[in-house]
Structure 1
């Protein structure tokens, strides 16, 4: 009895057809997965934007409330109602009762001309030292 070859012509053609089908489906499947990922990202972005819109809507409703406007005027701008005596204690921040323990005070920045003059003096002293070393 003659031994049959392991790989027949039909099996080779079948393997080629299966590979061709797999190759033709690879690109559309990759595009499908990429589009699904993009859809998920867009849905997350949409949720963030909806939350931002809701926050802005709440803020606009707050700003339409006359009581809120009055309270903000008193707290932030130190406004008083007519006939009311108001006192401002200097040296304290207006939000001292709100738990500002973690806040740092801003360091006062010198005026621009002082910074410029300091840089000129620093350049002069550095340049004078180099000239003295070169001459000596």
Structure 2
């Protein structure tokens, strides 16, 4: 008859150690498993840089494709714009708008600011609380003074309001004590 099977318990487990420690000690590596692990490590070392460069190249291709798509849209926009410039009515309207050209016999009016003066004044507030606008037009009065003096036939005595008399000449007065 056969012998009864007895269960063999490793010595480490019998001493009360954990199951993980005994499992680790129970692993035996054969030559084939060591060669396969070495080949796996070599494959990772060789393939990792190649995969990284592959991913970088894919990213560059995607970036270049996006650039090509953008340039294609710009080309289509420029083609449509060129087609518009081939139309004589579009050229005429652009000359009117941009260069203010008119057709022969037409009169062009250029309105710089079409708001009423009251709306312009209401929009502008005082520049500063300290600086106020002058009540008189000093430029106009200065210009008027020059024009009056330059175009008048009157003598300086007449302009000063003394009439036709000559101004009195000052006489020296004696100083006391001399």
TM range (shorter): 0.5 to 0.7
Deviation at 1:5, TM superposition (A): 5.0
Q: What CA distance in whole angstroms lies between the structure 1 residues aligned with 2:27 and 2:83?
A: 83
Decide which of 91, 105, 108 is 1:83's aligned counterpart. Answer: 105
Q: CA deviation at 1:64?
A: 1.4
Q: After TM superposition, give the deviation of residue 33 of structure 1 in Å.
A: 1.1
Summarize the alignment of residues 34-53 of structure 1 with structure 2, pairs less than 5 Å apart: 34-53=56-75
Q: Which runs of 5+ in 2 are unaligned?
A: 1-7, 9-24, 115-178
User: After superposition, what is the alpha-carbon deviation per residue over 1:50-101, rounded to whole angstroms, capped at 9, x for unaligned?
Assistant: 1111111111111111111111111121111111222111236xxxxxxxxx
**What TM-score do you get using the length of structure 1 for normalisation?**
0.59
Residue among 11, 33, 51 paired with 2:33 = 11
Structure 1 alignment gaps of length 5 or more: 93-136
Q: Which of residues 24, 28, 43 is equivalent to 1:21?
A: 43
Q: Which has the higher helix share?
A: 1
**Equivalent position SS for 2:106:** coil
Larger Cα-atom Rg:
2
SS in 2 for 1:49: helix
Runs of 4+ in structure 1 deviating by more than 4 angstroms, as ranges, are: none
TM-score normalized by structure 2?
A: 0.46
Distance 1:39 1:4 in 2: 51
